[in-house]
Amino acid sequence: MDLLQLKKEVFRANLKLVDLGLVTLTWGNVSAIDRTEGLIAIKPSGIDYDVMAVEDIVVVDLDGKVVEGKYRPSSDTPSHIELYKAFTEIGGISHTHSKYATMFAQAHMEIPCFGTTHADYFYGTIPLARTLTEEEVNEGYEKYAGRAIIEKFKSIDPITMPGVLLSSHAPFTWGKDAMESVKHSFILERIAEMSLGTLQLNQDCNSVEQYILDKHYKRKHGPNAYYGQK
Amino acid sequence: MDLLQLKKEVFRANLKLVDLGLVTLTWGNVSAIDRTEGLIAIKPSGIDYDVMAVEDIVVVDLDGKVVEGKYRPSSDTPSHIELYKAFTEIGGISHTHSKYATMFAQAHMEIPCFGTTHADYFYGTIPLARTLTEEEVNEGYEKYAGRAIIEKFKSIDPITMPGVLLSSHAPFTWGKDAMESVKHSFILERIAEMSLGTLQLNQDCNSVEQYILDKHYKRKHGPNAYYGQK
Amino acid sequence: MDLLQLKKEVFRANLKLVDLGLVTLTWGNVSAIDRTEGLIAIKPSGIDYDVMAVEDIVVVDLDGKVVEGKYRPSSDTPSHIELYKAFTEIGGISHTHSKYATMFAQAHMEIPCFGTTHADYFYGTIPLARTLTEEEVNEGYEKYAGRAIIEKFKSIDPITMPGVLLSSHAPFTWGKDAMESVKHSFILERIAEMSLGTLQLNQDCNSVEQYILDKHYKRKHGPNAYYGQK
Amino acid sequence: MDLLQLKKEVFRANLKLVDLGLVTLTWGNVSAIDRTEGLIAIKPSGIDYDVMAVEDIVVVDLDGKVVEGKYRPSSDTPSHIELYKAFTEIGGISHTHSKYATMFAQAHMEIPCFGTTHADYFYGTIPLARTLTEEEVNEGYEKYAGRAIIEKFKSIDPITMPGVLLSSHAPFTWGKDAMESVKHSFILERIAEMSLGTLQLNQDCNSVEQYILDKHYKRKHGPNAYYGQK
C-alpha cells in the first residue's frame, strides 16, 4: 500500500469519528499501519478537525520517529505503537473519549455481555486495563498505557475482542484497518450506553449464556458465518 | 396486492426505521406478507441502508424458500415466518435493536403500563419472551426465537399487544402492514425510554388502573373509539 | 381579536411544539381562547402535523360545540374548556407527552423547585393532579381530568404556577396566549430533565430556600422585576 | 484592544454558547474585559439570540455603569464584575444553565476528577460555591453570588480551575478571553455528563490518583506541556 493511500484512509477515519459523534474538540485519534514498510499514519497532535488536511497526517516508524509530515504526531502515538507491535494482525486503531464507554472506564468497570448486540461484535466481557503506577506514568505514560492493555490481553484474543477500556481514561478499539477500528468504536459506544441502562434496570443482571454468545458471534464471524451476503 | 408494491412498502418501511433513529448499521429489518399468495418481502441480510434499492428486497415463501431477489434474506427471516404463521391477522413485522427497548430486553424485564401513552397503543404489560435453550439455539436459533414469542402469546392477543421483547436480545413489533409495524417500534421505544425514567424516579411504581388502561386503549381502538376523525 | 388570527396563532403554536421536540406523532395539542366571544381555537383530533393547515383548526364554544371547522376537535377539548372556565386570566393551553415531564407524571411525583431555572418561571413545586376515579373516567374522562387540575389549584395561583402534571398521564401548561403556553411546556420539560438528574445525584435533595425562590421569581415577574429590558 | 473588537468577540462567543447547545432561551451570557481601559462588554439582559446584533452588546465599567449601548446589561453583570476584580488574569467569563453542570449545582455536589478528560482541563475537583444568605440575596444577589465564588477560591487558583458551580443555580466558567470561557463551559458540561454516568455505575468511585491528575494537566499546560504543536 502506498503511503498517500494510507494517509487518506487515516484522514477519512479521523473525520468519521467526528461525524459519528464519538469525538469532540481534539479528543480522539485514529492510526493505520503499513505492515510491509513498518510505517504508521496517525493524526497530528491537537489539530482541529475543521482545518486538518490529508497532508497533515503524520507518518512514524515503529520506534516513533517521524518519517513524513510537518507536525508532531498524536501524543498517544506510543500507545498505538505498542499495540501494533503486540497485536500483529490488526491494521488500524481508534482512541476516543466517547461518553458512555468513558463512563465505564472512569467507573473502573468492565462491560459484561448483556445481549446479542454485544455478542455480534465483541466475544465476551469488554476488558478494563489497570491503572498505571506512578513510575510508569512518569517514565513513559503513553507507552505504558499500551503495555497495560497488552498485559490485560495475555489470555484474550484481540481479533475476537477488538476493544478495551483504560482505567480512569477512555476506550481504544482496533480492526483490520482504520475504518473498521472506527466502526468498533461506534459499536462499543452503543453497547456501553445500552449496558448502563440495563444495569439501571437490573443491577444484578447476568451476562448472556455462553451458547448464545457463541451462536451470535459465530453467526457473523468465522468459517460458519451466515449473516450478510456470501 | 402485486409483489412490486409489497417490495416498495417493505423498502420504505426499512428506511423509515433508520430515519426514526431506531436502526443503526444493519441492526434491523422489516417484512410484509401478501396473505393471498403466501409470500413475504423482507430486507436482504447485512446490506447497508445507504445502497439498498427496491429490487434488493427479497421475496420468500412460508417455507423460507427465496422466490425472488438476488440476495439472501435477513438472517431473522425464520422468526418472521413463524410469527406470520401464528398471528394470522398481522401484515407487517419490524425488528430493531433500538436503545431503550433493548435495555429492557437485556435486563430481562417486561414493561409495565405506567401511563396513558403506553395505554393508547399497547393494551397492558409489554411481554418478554423467554431465553432459548441450548438445543433450540443450535437447532434453529431464529425459528425458535419466533416460537418463544408465540409461546408467550398463548394467552395474549397480538392485535391488542403489537410487540414483544426477546430476552437478552431486542424487540419485535408488528401491525396491519409494514409501516404500522414501524410505527409500533417507534412508540415502543418511546415508552421504554419513559418507563426507564419512571422507574428511576419511583422504583416501586405501579401500573395504571385497569379502568384507565381500558379507557385509553378503547378511546383509540375498537367500535367505540372517538379519537381522531371518523 | 378576529377568529382567523386566533386560528393562525393556534396553528403556529401547535407546530412549535413539534419543532421543540415536545410532541411526536399526534401526542399534543394547543388551544387559545377569545375571551370576548367565548370561543376556543384548538387542534383537530388525530391529524398529522405534516398535513395540518390553518383552516383545519377547529373553533368550539365553552360548551364544546363546534362553531367552525370541518374536523372533530382534539379529544382533550373538554379538559381545555374546564381550565379556561376556572382560570379566567389565561389565554392559551398546551398539552404534550414530553418525555421528562411525563416520567414524573407516571411516577406520581411532583417536581420540587431544585434551582433558579425553575424558580425563574414556576413559583414553587410543580403540582400533580390526582388519579381519576372509575366513575369519573367513565362519565367524562377529559372533563374530569380538567376538574382534577382545578381541584389541585384550590390554593395555588395558576398565574404564578403555569403548569401541572396529571397522574399516570402527562403535563398541561398555560399562559397569556398559545405561544406562551408552548414556552412553558418547553421550560417545564427542561426543568423535569434537570430534576431527574438532580435526584439521581442526590435523592434527598431539598427545595431551594424560600427567599431564593422569591428573589428569582420576582426578578422576572411583577412590579419590581429587573430582568430584561423595560 | 478597541471596544468594537471586544464587542464582536463577546457577540460571537454568546452565539457560540447557543450553537454548542449550552444555552436555550436567554439562559446564559458571556462577557470580556479590556484590562487597559477597565471596560467590560457583556450581553444585554433578556434579548433573544436570534435578533441580537453586535451593537446591542453593552459596555460597562468596573462600577457597573453603562458607558456604551442602548440596553440594560445582563442582570448577572455584578457577578461578572466581582470575578474580574478578584481574578486579575482572566479575560472572559461565561454563565450558562447547561443541563448536566446544573444538575450537580442543584444537587449541591462538587464534581470530583474521575478521569483524564477532566484532568486535561480542570486541575482537581470542580468546586461548589455556597448558598447565599437571605441578607446577601436581598442586599445584592448577583454581587454576592460573585463574592461567594471568590470566597471559595481563597485557596484555589482560578487559572488552573477555570470554572465553578453555584449552589442551587448553575455554572460559571472563565478563560483568557470570551471564547476560551465558552470552551471551558462546553468541557465542563461534558465532564458533568460523564461524571453523572460514572456515579450511576459506581457511586463510591474515587478521584484519579494525584500523579495522574498532575501528568494529564501538565501534559497540556505549563512549561513542560507536550500536547499539541509547539
A-B CB pairs within 8 A amount to: 85
Mean per-residue pLDDT of chain D: 96
Question: Crossing angle, helix C99-106 and helix C178-201, to 10 degrees?
Answer: 60
> Average pLDDT, stretch A119-138?
97
Residue to mutate among C45, C50, C106, with most B CBs inside 10 A, is: C106
What φ, ψ does residue A71 adopt, rounded to 5°? -105, 165
Judging by DSSP bridges, how do beta strands B58-61 and B163-166 pair with one another?
unpaired
The confidence score (pLDDT) of residue C1 equals 63
Q: How confident is the model at residue D205 (pLDDT cuts 50, 70, 90)?
A: very high
Which chain D residues touch C117 with a CB distance below 8 Å? 27, 97, 102, 170
Digit-coded pLDDT (tens) for B69-81: 999 999 999 999 9
SS3 B172: strand
In this prediction, what percent of chain D has a pLDDT beyond 70?
99
> Given C168, C170, C196, which is nearest B197 (Cβ)?
C196
Please report, to the nearest 10 degrees, the dihedral formed by the alpha carbons of residues C93, C96, C100, C104 taken in order. 70
Give pLDDT, residue C219: 84
pLDDT of residue C228: 82
Q: Count the residues in chain B.
A: 230
Residue of C47, C134, C168 with shortest CB distance to B116: C168
- The vertex-C23 CA angle with B9 and C13, nearest 5°, equals 120
Q: What are C138-163's pLDDT values in tens digits? A: 999 999 999 999 999 999 999 999 99
- Asked whether residue D230 carries a pLDDT value surpassing 70, the answer given is no
pLDDT in tens, D7-61: 999 999 999 999 999 999 989 999 999 999 999 999 999 899 999 999 999 999 9
What mean pLDDT is predicted for residues A4-15? Answer: 98
Number of alpha carbons in the 13 Å side-chain half-sphere of residue B208? 34
Instruction: Give the containing element (helix H, strand E) for C124.
Output: none
Subunits next to D (3 or more Cβ pairs <8 Å) are A, C
Average of per-residue pLDDT across D144-165? 98
Residue B227 · residue C46 · CB < 8 Å: yes
Ranges under pLDDT 70 in chain C: 1, 230
**pLDDT value of position D1:** 63
For C229, the closest of D45, D100, D134 (CB atoms) is: D45
* B126: three-class secondary structure by DSSP: strand
Question: What pLDDT score was predicted for residue B1?
Answer: 63
**Residues of A in Cβ contact (< 8 Å) with B100:** 197
Look at residue B46 in the predicted model and tell me its pLDDT.
Answer: 86
Cβ–Cβ contact D204 with A under 8 A: no
Residues of B in contact with C103 (CB under 8 A): 194, 197-198, 200-201
D100 touches chain C (CB under 8 A): yes
Please answer yes or no on whether B46 and A215 come within 8 Å at the CB atom.
no
C214 is an active site residue: no
How far is C80 from C62, CA to CA, in rounded Å? Answer: 9
Q: How far is B174 from chain C (nearest CA, A)?
A: 18
In the sheet that holds D66-68, the strands lie side by side as D66-68, D58-61, D39-42, D28-34, D92-96, D171-175, D163-166, D128-129
**What pLDDT is recorded for position C230?**
65
A147-150 own/partner pairs: CB under 8 Å, 24+ apart: A147/A82, A149/A79, A149/A82, A149/A83, A150/A82, A150/A83, A150/A86, A150/A87
* CA terminus-to-terminus distance, chain C: 26
pLDDT in tens, B79-105: 999 999 999 999 999 999 999 999 999
Residues of chain C in contact with residue D105, where contact means CB-CB under 8 angstroms, are 115
**ipTM given for this complex:** 0.95
Q: How far is CA B174 from the centre of its chain?
A: 4
Mean pLDDT within A57-64: 98
Beta carbons of A169 and D116 less than 8 Å apart: yes
Q: Is D194–A102 a contact, with Cβ atoms under 8 angstroms apart?
A: yes
A34 catalytic residue (yes or no): no
Q: What is the pLDDT of residues D65-111, one digit of tens each?
A: 999 999 999 999 999 999 999 999 999 999 999 999 999 999 999 99
The crossing angle, in degrees rounded to 10, of helices C99-106 and B178-201 is 60
Q: Give the model's confidence band at B186: pLDDT under 50 very low, under 70 low, under 90 confident, else very high.
A: very high
Q: Do D205 and A107 touch (CB under 8 A)?
A: yes
Confidence class for position A230, pLDDT limits 50, 70, 90: low
Question: Is residue A1 over pLDDT 80?
Answer: no
Chain A CB within 8 Å of residue D221 CB: no
CA angle (A228, B2, B3) in 5-degree steps: 10
pLDDT given for residue C220 in this prediction: 85
Contact D3, D61 (CB under 8 A): no
Under an 8 A CB cutoff, do C107 and B187 touch?
A: no
* C131 in contact with B, Cβ within 8 Å: yes
Sheet with A163-166, strands from edge to edge, namely A66-68, A58-61, A39-42, A28-34, A92-96, A171-175, A163-166, A128-129
Report pLDDT for D229.
79
Q: Are C168 and B114 a contacting pair at CB < 8 A?
A: yes
pLDDT of residue B26: 87
**C228 contacts in D (CB within 8 Å)?**
26, 45-47, 72
> Chain C residue with minimal CA distance to D46?
C228
| Substitution target from C23, C48, C66, C103 for chain B, most B beta carbons within 10 A | C103
Cα–Cα dist C164/C105, whole Å? 9
Q: Look at A44 and D193 and tell me if their CB atoms are within 8 Å.
A: no
Chain A partners within 8 Å of D230 (Cβ): 72
- Mean pLDDT of all residues in B126-139: 97
Active-site entry in C34, C56, C120, C141: C120
Q: What is the mean pLDDT of chain A?
A: 96
From the list D46, D138, D168, which residue is nearest C116 (CB)?
D168
